[in-house]
Amino acid sequence: MTKPRVLIADAMSPLAAETFRARGVQVDVKTGLAPDELVAILKDYDGLAVRSATKVKAATLANAARLKVIGRAGIGVDNIDVAAATTRGIVVMNTPYGNSITTAEHALALMMALARQIPEANASTRAGKWEKNAFMGVELMGKTLGIVGCGNIGSVVADRAQGLKMKVIAYDPFLSPDRAADLGVEKVEFDDLLAHADFISLHTPLTDATRNILNAKSLAKTKKGVRIVNCARGGLIVEADLKAAIESGQVAGAALDVFAEEPARANPLFGVPGVVVTPHLGAATAEAQEKVALQVAEQMADFLLTGAVANAVNMPAMTAEEAPKLRPYMKLAEQMGSFAGQATETAIKAVTVEYEGLVAGLNTKPLTAVVLKGLLSPQLETVNMVSAPAIARERGLDVREVRHERAGAYQTLIRLTIVSETQTRAIAGTLFNDEPRIVDIKGIPIDARLGPHMIYVTNRDKPGFIGALGTLLGNANINIATFSLGREKPGGDAITLIEVDHPIDEGMVARIRALPQVMRCKPMRF
């Protein structure tokens, strides 16, 4: 088996390359590549590891047919076109935990520097002045810290701030009341945070919902004299509006590690009194750089070698422990999706995937993604489990996932229901000794194994049909591997699933359709 090959395109700790090699992954370190150079060589790699310097755009991926995973040694993926990667079926991973402590500590350092005007006092003293009365600061103890985004980093900041005897309030739509209680913070609405915080620290990702979250309108709602810290993303603040708020006295000062445009050679806030700035140092400690390098290499190696998915921003997570348990179900899920996709000839409007019994207790998100891959594959050549959910959203498919932990007729069961423009079709499958089996099609019980070449026939349950169909195939020298039957009721609708050794041509399809009892014949491939 050929070893997977990874390109490290940005400077990072040597631990990354060492980890890849120790895991049996080929690795090349080529930093500082021009965009056209990266495009030219990326076609030879299964994985790409970057930090923030390399910009991975849609054009970068245009010829990267072999690429399966992009790993970002850090939290933000702003330098990666995630949508383009997803469309091409490339997993994008980050390392959200490796620099949490370092970034949180930097935010607190900036908060203290801002509160005590340390940069200005340092510059004044180094210049030979002794302006002891010029730098009147404020204490942190007893002040209210408002945290916007209380995830990995924000929660660490909250913990450390409480150690400084600060009151902590937090705005985060995804923060549950139980989690807020565990952290010892008060969950509030955004306007309440603005009105009551003495310090505001930003720790939210840059999304459409958070872009420019601090602007002229929101800054006007802040408590007069508030101090603002941003170690998250520059695009969270309208910098010109913050400058105006500082100059008006509404905001006492700001400490910024990130900017709307980086590298920030010039900025409206540079030179403004009361502003502390650093050049994106949030993750700049030796410990953090080693952690993220190690983590990104381990995550990418796990994915390339075992299929385990951790900290992916564009597909469901699946641990190395989960992968073996899910593997037979993934085969079943893909077969079921493919069957429904091949059988459906009009536009699909809605998809419901139900998990019953043992499978309901597993991580079903990857299974749903695989179902969608199988469903869309008959129409799209390049779809995979990464791109399928995004394509389904783009096409307006209503996708639902339902779990029934109870066991029914089978210990474990997946049921897929497709609503198209003309009908609703359902198919159910289970595992027998980890082998996928189809056990129900359109409400008709059946016991069928799907092979590479199948013939799907719907017919009326009449005497002589099986003999006529078998004779037709035999006369054409078509060998039957398996022959599965199911019927609604005696004399009613019936289903025949036949596995044959080789694909049948259109002529044979037409001859099967011409049999008196046949309502439909569809060749399928799996």
Q: Could you check whether the bond before residue 263 is cis, i.e. omega within 30 degrees of 0?
A: yes
Helix, strand, coil % (nearest 5) of the chain?
35, 25, 40
Position 63: which residue type?
N
Strand order in 167-171's β-sheet? 186-187, 167-171, 144-148, 199-202, 226-230, 251-256, 275-277
Q: Give the three-state DSSP class for 25.
A: coil
Q: Which of 45, 49, 40 is nearest to 3 (CA)?
A: 45
Q: How many other C-beta atoms lie within 10 A of the C-beta of residue 32?
A: 10
Residues paired with residue 435 on neighbouring β-strands, in sequence order: 432
Burial class (CB in 10 A: 0-12, 13-18, 19+), 9: buried
* 149, 232 contact by CB (below 8 A): yes
Alpha helices in 164-256 (DSSP H): 177-183, 190-196, 216-219, 239-248
Residues 6+ apart with CB under 8 A from 75: 94, 95, 96, 99, 103, 152, 153, 205, 283
Position 1: which residue type?
M
Sign of the Cα pseudo-torsion (314, 52, 264, 138, in order): positive
CA 90 to each of CA 53, 61, 84, 506: distance values in angstroms, whole numbers, following the listed order:
20, 9, 9, 36
* 202, 173 contact by CB (below 8 A): no
Pair of tokens at residue 136: 């009147």
Q: Which residue in the block uniquely carries the two structure tokens 């699909």?
A: 348
282 backbone φψ class: left, alpha, beta (φ>0; ψ -120 to 50): alpha
Provide the annotated active-site residues. 233, 262, 280
